[in-house]
Amino acid sequence: QARHHLARLRGKDRLATPFYEVELDILGALARPEGMDEEQTRRLLERLRKIEHVSLNDAMLERLARHALALDAPDLAARTFAELAGRDPQGRQRWLDEAARWYLASGEPLPA
């Protein structure tokens, strides 16, 4: 049913649609009992990295970061949380803490 709604969205919201498509694919892959193989993870992560952040609202951007973590990409999550810190003055400290945590986890201590 979600894919049906997504098909109707195509053309109306061309900036957010790619996010929703990859999000559905990630959630579907994570739900499978056998999980994901390396190639599937790589392809999903590649698609996630291509998403235009400017087209996403803050809630979508947070989900993008969480999906990056699920795909073992702390570097992408860190950059995304840092972007959220710049967008959300009230949640700035929370997002900076998340960004620092995942920059360190990705082996990039300088931005942290």
Q: Which amino acid is at 98?
A: E
Q: What is the pLDDT of residue 73?
A: 97
User: What is the architecture of the domain spanning 2-105?
Assistant: Alpha Horseshoe (1.25)
Contact by Cβ (8 Å): 2, 26: no
Condensed to tens digits (0 to 9), the pLDDT of residues 45-92 reads 999 999 998 889 999 999 999 999 999 999 999 999 999 999 999 999
Residue of higher predicted confidence among 64 and 1: 64
Q: What is the pLDDT of residue 35?
A: 84
Q: What are the boundaries of each domain within the chain? A: 2-105
Beta strands in the chain (DSSP E): none
The gap from C-alpha 74 to its chain's centroid, in whole angstroms, comes to 10
Mean pLDDT of 36-43: 94
Q: Which residue has the tokens 């999906």?
A: 67
